[in-house]
Structure 1
Amino acid sequence: MDRATRIPAAARARAVARSLAVAVGGLPHSVGTVDSPPPHVARDITNLWLRSARSHEAITDSTSSEIVTMTTHGERLRDVWLAIESIGRGTVKPHRLVLWLDRPLRRIPWRLRRLQQRGLEIRFVSPGLGVHTKYWPLLSSEPLDRPLVMSDDDIIYPQTWLEELRGAHQDSPGCVIAHRAHVIGMSSESAFTPYSSWRPCESDAAHFAHFATSVSGQLLPPQLQKAIRDDGEGFLRTAPTADDVWLHYEAVKHGFATRQVLDRQQHWWFIPGSQQTGLNAVNVTGGENDRQLAATHSAETRRRIWGELATIR
């Protein structure tokens, strides 16, 4: 049996797609074609691909108020432009859009270079921050006078994504705003139930017991950003791979409730091929979220969450 026969069909398909992408400078679905997105998502990806190659439209707006940040690593660097392009085609654009990288590149991919010409900032920082790279370098080094919106590198965001976060923030300026949240589970005042058992948030009310996830985007108001900055890098000790855990702890500690934009969770399609790597399996299935929740939350923040749970059950 030759080597080609032994390679699984999906792996062969990815290899072919990758070689074609290199040959022609990228394909609408890049190496993720084998993920078979539904037709409307495939069309959106194709439109983003064409937009990336042809458009000279700015992806930022100097009159806007929000700063949007994300980070990426490894093979995801190849396709992160899709997430950025989807944000940049929104009904409202961010004041700044920053991609943080924890190692210098010999050559920035050409689609990212084109995005730089249209307003993307690519910033390099020292390695070691992991998932916290998406927000900590900015919080620790810049004036914090604008809402900060964290995004993920593996999502195709809808056109109204930032507009809806902005609207909810304007209605609830003292809250963390998220498109997707869970209701925290607790078995007692001091003990969380397993993260995987938490139910989806079905309310747009603000509560300490709502837990935002950055995968669909979450907005931090400036005062919370300053409090997180002043508390330093404790996340490296208690929540090294769970930025959502640390940010929720900080929000509860400093009196910022979390509000979901709608009365239901929103989660959009992943960039095809992006889920070959990622922390979701480690944090959720592997139980790291549970360990880092236990290590991070204090008796005070647990009591604050527990006290609210009775009102939203």
Structure 2
Amino acid sequence: MDARLRITALLTASTLGLALTACGEDGSAEDPTPAGSTTSPSASPPTDATDATDEPTAEPTNPAPSEGDAETTVPAYFVGDTPQGARLYREFRRVSGDPYVAAAALVTGGDVLDPDYRSLWPDGSFADVRQEGDAIVAEVADDGWATRGGLSANGARLAAQQLVYTLQGVAQERLPVRVVDGEGTPVPLFGLEGDLAQASPLEVLALVSISGPEEGATVSGTFTAGGVASSFEANVPWQVRDSGGKVVLDGYATAEGWMDKLYPWASEVDVSDLAPGTYTFIARTDDPSGGEGGGPMEDSKTITVE
């Protein structure tokens, strides 16, 4: 079977295989740190930032929990729509106080920067989130999240994975997430019993995402766009579109790999010839099926060119 038939089969399997498992697998590698002339409303992704699917770096993104008003950069995972169904996308955010509590609050509160993202979590908040031994413990304030409520079965699992990926990103370890009541007794989350483990990244994460530039970033000259992807033959096409939707720049990045997990990609983007104004940067997966699998996955960020 040639490569294009293999990837078409893979895309079809991904479309059908959105039942989110409770067992974790090794996933994406480190993101390249976006560089160049960029500023944004929140902190840029930290140097050597890792996904929760990686081993910790020598200088972890998030050291021990902060005290007082100290700030920490945390990854928060939100839901976005793709042709293959809802998937998780990540934002790096600066938070004050304990990073576990703050990161969980971003997820449960649906506090997104990118308007294309959302949270599946109903209203509410955790009483506490902390690391205890070989697990991350999330203490619920009441039993409001014990059942699925209005969530579908897949929605409940994806909401749980929002929490798992976020808290594991804070810990920089693939620790199980244990949901407990005020007395420390394990309780169900959206009908899911037992410790929550990371589901396969290829099943729950978008197959392309942009870590930089961030939503709302201001750029000038040449900047480095980057993120992670699992795209046909490691090809990651990108575009810059003006406010009317016209493509004014395009190119592609070559990721460090493809198919078995998400790999880093990066590309230099020269906006020096563009008029100042608002644009959209878009990165996509390559689509060898010609749309038969529903079309490519993509991520987009609104940027301002100075």
Q: Normalised by the size of structure 2, how large is the TM-score?
A: 0.29
Q: Normalised by the size of structure 1, how large is the TM-score?
A: 0.28
Q: Which has the higher contact order (CA 8 A, sep 6+)?
A: 2
1 or 2, which has the higher strand percentage?
2
1 or 2, which has the higher helix percentage?
1
